[in-house]
Structure 1
Amino acid sequence: MTSDSTSLAAVAALDDDLRRTMYEFIRRTARAVTRDEAAQSVGISRKLAAFHLDKLVDAGLLTTRYEHPGGLRRVGRTPKVYEPSALDVQVSIPPREPVLLAEILIDAVLAETPAEPAGQAAHRLAHERGRHLGHTERGNLRRTRLGPERALTCAQHVLERHGYEPTRDTPTHILLRNCPFHPLAAKAPDLVCGINHAFLTGFLTGLDAPAVQAALTPRPGHCCVELGVPDTPTTPATDQPACTKDHPPT
């Protein structure tokens, strides 16, 4: 998973030692925790504990409700209790997409047949995942015609969200400065780079951009794939209208 504002906010909330210790205490407890219990776990006042707990709630790390500890009905005001949310926080710099790769590989193993080994299935499924992504993006565009330069502009915005760190070095060419599947790609380059190539080829297919190709061109310090229009002269890139202006951000 690439870094996003939610994950970064959650990490920032845990930078405080007291807050992090309370959060770890709540995660270890097999039930919802009151403010008093959270305060006692780190030796601070109930009021200060409430401040830190609210910060964790605002960051999406905790959820709240009102109930008596142990579920027993008691006389008096029902206290607010805290428990961990389902938020899965993963921050990586540079961005990585291990979950996408894992899902493709798992699906390939499950789909394996004598006629289609897992490696072939992985390439097919990666192409399908990419095609679905491109098709979704294409459906968000209002204008019907998608020329090569505009297709590359749209691809640049989408691939930025997926951690490829694209750079538009010419109007008809994009370098991908980051491999979202590193370091796994280094362990099995033929397999992982093939999956990556199939994914990006599928994306361009779904985007309906036949003039743009995903070329497998490994180079040190970059993704193994580049996007571009074949046999076009190299000229300095010019600013292109962002495709995000044509549809709501995803």
Structure 2
Amino acid sequence: MGLDDTSLTTLAALADDLRRSMFDFIRRQRRPVTREEVADTVGISRKLAAFHLDKLVAAGLLRAHYGHPEGIRKVGRRPKVYEPVAEAIAVSIPERRYEMLADVLTEAVMTEADGEPARDAALRVAYGRGETLGAGERERVRPGRLGAERGLSLAAETLDGLGFEPERAAPTVLRLRNCPFHPLAAKAPDLVCGLNQAFLAGYLHGLGSDRTTAVLAPQPGHCCVELRAGEDTDDTGPADGTACRR
């Protein structure tokens, strides 16, 4: 499927690394931000930040209005604030990793044992991929005794690099704000969410974080799996897909 003019304009606006960094920062805040916040984050002047922000608005990626940032009350004129538009374009914003899913499914087909259901083969491969990743991470950092807190911190660092956009929802809960396999997860939630859970469970096992669990916990605007540490957890069961839509 070809790109329409709107998508091409959007991609052109994000071809600039600085604008991409600014957009990524704003999107991750999940609240309106001022140009001063953006300028301080990326290390440029407020005037230059305003120029690039207006370009992102013109491209349809951001919307601007006047109001104080969330939680801040000030007297006087309200500053101009920016936030992402509700409709995200489908060109790697947020980050998608379809090649990971394709690799898992391809290996599952090639290694499927006699009598092994295709779904079970895919879950096996996903778990193994995660376990290999976790073991490599453990070897790299050599954490010694890996407690729940350290396990969540290492997981957050690794999963952020894979596009999951982790955030601490609570001291013992790591919530994943982005599903790298969306919108496929919405079309086949039982399969894709199951693969996500298997991959993350394997990663935690390879990492040696046995007190942290990958739990199916679908909710709107997030990945269907979250990581919970230091508690007994039960899977919530397969998602029905409604919570996988962004």
Give the alignment's TM-score, normalised by structure 2.
0.57
Deviation at 1:194, TM superposition (A): 0.6
Deviates more, 1:128-137 or 1:165-174: 165-174
RMSD over aligned CA atoms reads 2.6
Distance 1:143 1:203 in 2: 15
Q: Mark the runs of 5 or more structure 1 residues left unpaired by the alignment.
A: 1-7, 14-90, 233-250
- Could you tell me which residue of structure 2 aligns to residue 130 of structure 1? 130
Distance (whole Å) between structure 1 residues aligned to residue 142 and residue 202 of structure 2: 21
- 1:202-226 deviations in Å (ceiling 9; x for gaps): 0000000010000011111110101
Q: 2:224, 2:207 → 1: CA distance?
A: 21
CA contact (8 A) 2:200 2:214 kept: yes
Contact 2:211 2:231 in 1 (8 A): no
Letter matched to residue 149 of structure 2: E
Partner of 2:181: 181
Q: What is the 5 A alignment of 1:167-206?
A: 167-206=167-206
Q: For 1:152 and 1:211, how far apart are their aligned partners in 2?
A: 10
How far did residue 231 of structure 1 move?
A: 3.6
Shift of 1:230: 4.8
**Structure 1 residues 106-145: aligned runs within 5 Å:** 106-145=106-145
* Residue 151 of structure 1: aligned partner: 151
Instruction: Name which one, 1 or 2, has greater alpha-carbon Rg.
Output: 1
In structure 1, the residue matched to 2:165 is: 165
Percentage of identical aligned residues: 52
Superposed displacement of residue 11, structure 1: 3.9
User: Residue 111 of structure 1 contacts residue 118 of structure 1 at CA under 8 Å; is this kept in 2?
Assistant: no
State the AA in 2 paired with 1:105: L
Matched letter for residue 190 of structure 1: D
**Contact 2:130–2:200 under 8 Å retained in 1:** yes
Partner of 1:99: 99
Task: Give the unaligned 5+ runs of structure 2.
Answer: 1-11, 18-90, 233-246
Could you tell me how far 1:109 is from its partner in structure 2? 1.4
Counterpart CA distance in 2 for 1:219 and 1:143 is 32
Distance in 2 (alpha carbons) for counterparts of 1:102 and 1:180: 12
